[in-house]
Amino acid sequence: MATLRLGDEAPNFVAQTTQGEIDFHNWLGDSWGVLFSHPADYTPVCTTELGTVAKYAKEFSDRNVKVAALSVDGLEDHHGWIKDINETQQTTVDFPIIADEERKVSELYDMIHPNADSKMTVRSVFVIGADKKIKLIIVYPASTGRNFDELLRVIDSLQLTAYHKLATPANWKHGEDCVISPAVSNEEIPALFPKGHREVKPYLRYTPQPDLN
């Protein structure tokens, strides 16, 4: 299969998980989704990652985002490992972990990079919109734990710019000023962005985040 790219439809699949069998597209429904892989169960970095995602459950829910993890281990290992995660990270894992022993989903999403490891998945992250299109792809090596604050920041940007003719500047965080799309003329700005704007250059125009009171 060709490498997945931004804007492609996220491939659908049916898989066994710690919360039962899921049909991925049906499971997502009208929600956004985060699908992320971890190299193996009972490993230190992965334990901290899944514990962090569990602690951020409300943050994802508030953004209408469903989260699913994956590794090439089986359900028995997943269920045993969840007990360790809950104990060591003082949390409760309440999202599905996909069992992918036959690597069907891993190969569908190109999560196994042979030059890094021929058997285990790398730390892939896919953010999927409510339209089932891939909005973000990030790949970390097995040795580097992910920054889930950054993932939430990007989701905030993706959801904002999906509905407004805006972009977000470097290091942008929810609530900060946004950049007006170059496709928007100055004449259109008052109707689109009634909070006003400031022009630094004709191509660099800022406006307050529009979906805040």
Q: What is the pLDDT of residue 45?
A: 93
Q: What is the pLDDT of residue 110?
A: 85
What residue spans define the domains of the chain?
Answer: 14-145, 164-207
Q: What is the pLDDT along the chain (213 residues), one digit of tens a residue?
A: 458 999 999 999 999 999 999 999 999 999 999 999 988 899 999 999 999 999 999 999 999 999 999 998 999 999 999 999 999 999 999 999 999 988 899 889 988 775 665 566 668 899 999 999 999 999 988 889 999 999 999 999 999 999 999 999 999 999 999 999 999 999 999 999 999 999 999 999 999 999 876
Half-sphere exposure of 7 (CA within 13 A, CB side): 0
Q: What is the pLDDT of residue 1?
A: 47
Q: So what CATH class is 164-207? A: alpha beta
From 10, 46, 111, 184, the catalytic residue: 46
Measure Cα distances from 15 to 23, 126, 168, 175 in Å.
7, 17, 36, 38
Residue 178: active-site member? no
- 14-145 has CATH 3.40.30.10 classification: yes
What's the Rg (C-alpha) of the chain?
19
